Structure 1
Amino acid sequence: MAMTLRQNGFSLIELLIVISVVAIIMAIGIPGYRQYLMRANRADATAALLRISAAQERFYLQNGRYAATQQELEAAPPAGLGTGKTERDFYVLQLQPNAGGPAVGFIASATARLGKAQSDDTECWVFMVDELGQHTAFNQAGDPNNQRCWD
């Protein structure tokens, strides 16, 4: 009578194969997912700039000029309109008067905040919008990158 042993569990080779397959899948998937997150987080900057642009237009209607500083725009209504920071705090917002002064226009910018996830987004480092609604964006080297960033 032959005795057969029944094997329970996995062999070491099978376990190593599964671990290496999972490692390969993660090595391929994580960088792609990270790029996806950076593209999705750009909406934080564009939404904040469009909100500032709308607040500036309301401020202009109330005061006959654009707000010269972000603090002036963030003051309590009716003077300011409480725009605040970007929702997820990935970007630093700046507001400055146009070359002709606050009576003529403004330039609002959102720059990737250092130390946050978006600081690795070298394609779309700075977003800008002006009183005419013109959108511009620059990569980390300072080259224009409008098409890719505002889409």
Structure 2
Amino acid sequence: MQLSQPQKGFSVTEILIVLLIIAILVISLMPSYQRYQIRSNRSDAIKSILAIQIAEEKYRISNTSYGNLGAVWPGTTNSYSGYYQMSITNNTASSYTITAAALGAQTDDTGCTTMTLTNTNGTATQSPVDCWQ
């Protein structure tokens, strides 16, 4: 009597079970990843707002009032990475407000679709506060 050798490898059923487990993990983790990515994109707004704030202060040294967006942020109205639309309002001799409004998928960032920095007489106020952390 001849003994058969044991089979090596995986059966189709075992492979399908592994693929099913992987698919379930991917589906369950995708929303968390998307939320993380949206939160991390806030840094684009913060970085751009702070760069504009520095540019405004440099502009004010040579001028009698703070500048508009075209004077301090030439070329585009988008943030560095393009997730936000930048604007400057209420620019006077003593104050200005820089606003970053979310674009595209970044509008899903509930509560943080618009971030602002208002500088009045040298005191900066950021809002919404939770979005700046």
Percent identity of equivalent pairs: 32
- Mapped to 1, the partners of 2:97 and 2:14 lie a distance apart of 60
User: Hey, what does 2:25 align to over in structure 1?
Assistant: 25
User: Hey, what does 2:126 align to over in structure 1?
Assistant: 135
Contact 1:66 1:106 in 2 (8 A): yes
Instruction: Work out whether 1:150 is the aligned partner of 2:107.
Output: no
CA distance 1:51–1:88, shift in 2 (3 Å) = same
Q: TM-score, normalised by structure 2?
A: 0.85
What does 1:83-122 correspond to in 2, within 5 Å?
Answer: 85-98=78-91, 102-113=92-103, 115=104, 117-122=105-110
Contact 1:93 1:110 in 2 (8 A): yes
- Mapped to 1, the partners of 2:127 and 2:21 lie a distance apart of 43
Residue segments in structure 1 that go unaligned for 5+ positions in a row: 76-81, 138-145
SS in 2 for 1:103: coil
Residue segments in structure 2 that go unaligned for 5+ positions in a row: none
Contact 1:59 1:66 in 2 (8 A): yes
Contact 1:128 1:136 in 2 (8 A): yes
Higher helix share: 2
* RMSD value, Cα: 2.0
The total of aligned residue pairs comes to 130
Contact 1:53 1:133 in 2 (8 A): no
Q: TM-score, normalised by structure 1?
A: 0.76
